[in-house]
């Protein structure tokens, strides 16, 4: 039986952090065993916000090395860069022509990002979810492992696939989101009512995957909790509940087990323990990273292979789409 397809992506912006790992990368690693996986670094999405070209270039290599250091195996999965496969931009155009502006007006991430980038509310930021739909539909992906914040974009991708299929006959697989039950929305350490974000200006809001042990200790120590004392998950106590969620995912202990373990202990002991748990969890990844990031030739080879695999698959879909909408094949 043919394996089902997975596609997912991350933007090379800010610092890859523990929320991206728990919400997405962790599932990516697990899914490679069972599925045919395509993992893309979406550099074209990143320029919807102003980027320094030099930093963007360096960060693309950093992120690809982090994909691999996290356990994405280039022998099992295609790892590639979005701008290397021009079919993403080409399909996005066709999908733009079947997307209603009303649908884009409803996108909550566009609204949030517009508030943050008041001087640069560009058309790319607005049509970004259409490019994301193209990323997914090009590969006929069955499942898309993402955190909770991407759910609305996924719904648009599904709607566009269904709309195209009914307008022009069956062409696209209708993708399903794969969102983890716990950890799909890791919250900010200093402002636990908003989600943790890798491009947050305040680096104390997140634990970067490459943070040194002392930095991790300091960030966790400073994490906002509340005036209560019990180590107990409670929706009305977002700070401590977020820390318990992270602890639970890493140690694979249930919320009840954690509550019992820390019954007669306070926040300080819990935070000290959590910091050490995170440090140990990230250690193998950080050790792998240094080695991989220093081997530029290896990274280039991985990207070349990934691009070739992605290109073949993407072209097949794009040719079909061009034919169906009535474009004449070039001779
Ligand atoms: P991006 O780069 O913002 O985030 C990458 C992945 O990390 C997840 N994530 C989180 N999960 C849990 N808690 C958090 N606080 C948290 N913050 C981020 C995101 O949900 C995402 O899975 N638009 C996408 C990139 C993209 C994409 C795609 C994804 C472009 N094309 C096609 C899937 C398929 C984005 O900006 O993710």
- pLDDT tens for each residue of the chain, 331 residues long: 789 999 999 999 999 999 999 999 999 999 999 999 999 999 999 999 999 999 999 999 999 999 999 999 999 999 999 999 999 999 999 999 999 999 999 999 999 989 988 999 999 999 999 999 999 999 999 999 999 999 999 999 999 999 999 999 999 999 999 999 999 999 999 999 999 999 999 999 999 999 999 999 999 999 999 999 899 999 999 999 999 999 999 999 999 999 999 999 999 999 999 999 999 999 999 999 999 999 999 999 999 999 999 999 999 999 999 999 999 998 8
Residue with CA at minimum distance from ligand 1 atom 34: 8
Instruction: Give me the pLDDT at residue 275, please.
Output: 98
Alpha-carbon distance of 138 to 135, in angstroms, equals: 6
Q: What is the per-residue pLDDT for 331?
A: 86
- Looking from the CA of residue 131, the nearest atom of ligand 1 is 31
265 part of the active site = no
* The domain made up of 5-179+296-325 is a member of CATH 3.40.50.620: yes
Ligand 1 probe mutation, 150, 161, 199, most atoms within 8 A of CB: 150
Query: Which atom of ligand 1 is closest in space to residue 145's alpha carbon?
Result: 22
Which residues fall within 8 angstroms of residue 68, CB to CB, at 6 or more apart? 74, 79, 288, 292, 302
The domain locations on the chain are 5-179+296-325, 203-290
> What is the spatial distance between Cα 310 and Cα 277, in angstroms, rounded to a whole number?
37
Q: Which helix (H) or strand (E) holds 80?
A: strand 77-81
Helices and strands in the chain, H and E counts: 14, 5
> Is there a catalytic annotation at residue 195?
yes
Using CA positions, which residue lies closest to atom 37 of ligand 1?
10
Clarify whether 198 is annotated catalytic: yes
CA 202 to centroid of chain Cα atoms: 20
Position in ligand 1 atom list of the atom nearest CA 183: 12
Q: How far is the CA of 224 from the centre of ligand 1 (A)?
A: 24
- The pLDDT score that the predictor gives to residue 1 is 78
Q: How much is the pTM?
A: 0.97
Residue ID of nearest Cα to ligand 1 atom 22 = 146
Whether 145 lines ligand 1, by a CB cut-off of 6 Å, is no
Task: Find out whether the beta carbon of 59 lies less than 6 Å from any atom of ligand 1.
Answer: no
- 188 contact partners, CB below 8 Å, separation of at least 6: 194, 195, 196, 197, 200, 205, 206
Question: Quick one: angle between helices 267-293 and 53-70, nearest 10?
Answer: 100
Q: Hey, how many other C-beta atoms are within 10 angstroms of the C-beta on 328?
A: 7
Q: What does CATH list as the number for 203-290? A: 1.10.240.10
């Amino acid at each position: 039986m043919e394996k089902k397809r997975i596609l997912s992506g991350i933007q090379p912006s800010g610092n890859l952090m523990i929320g991206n790992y728990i919400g997405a990368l962790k599932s990516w690693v697990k899914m490679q065993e069972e599925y045919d996986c395509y993992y893309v670094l979406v550099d074209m999405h990143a320029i919807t916000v102003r980027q320094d070209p030099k930093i963007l270039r360096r960060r693309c290599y950093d992120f690809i090395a982090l994909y691999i250091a996290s356990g994405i195996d280039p022998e099992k999965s295609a790892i590639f860069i979005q701008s290397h496969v021009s079919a993403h931009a080409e399909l996005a155009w066709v999908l733009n022509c079947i997307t209603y502006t009303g649908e884009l007006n409803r996108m909550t991430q566009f609204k949030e990002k517009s508030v943050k980038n008041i001087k640069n509310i560009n058309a790319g930021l607005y049509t970004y979810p259409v490019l994301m739909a193209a990323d997914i539909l090009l590969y006929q992906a069955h499942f898309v492992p993402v955190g909770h914040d991407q759910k609305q974009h996924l719904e648009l991708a599904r709607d566009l696939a269904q709309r195209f299929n009914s307008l022009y006959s069956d062409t696209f697989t209708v993708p399903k989101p794969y969102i983890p039950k716990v950890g799909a929305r890791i919250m900010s350490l200093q402002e636990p009512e908003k989600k943790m974000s890798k491009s947050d200006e305040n680096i104390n809001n997140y634990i970067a995957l490459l943070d040194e042990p002392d930095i991790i200790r300091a960030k966790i120590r400073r994490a906002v909790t509340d005036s209560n004392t019990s180590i107990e998950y409670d929706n009305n106590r977002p700070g401590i509940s977020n820390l318990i969620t992270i602890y639970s995912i890493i140690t694979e202990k249930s919320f009840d087990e954690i509550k019992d373990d820390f019954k007669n202990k306070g926040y300080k002991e819990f935070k000290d323990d959590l910091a050490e748990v995170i440090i140990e969890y990230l250690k193998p990844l950080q050790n792998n990273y240094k080695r991989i990031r220093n081997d530029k030739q290896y990274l280039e080879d991985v990207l070349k292979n990934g691009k070739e695999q992605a290109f073949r698959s993407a072209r097949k879909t794009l040719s079909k789409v061009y034919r169906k909408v009535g474009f004449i094949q070039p001779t």
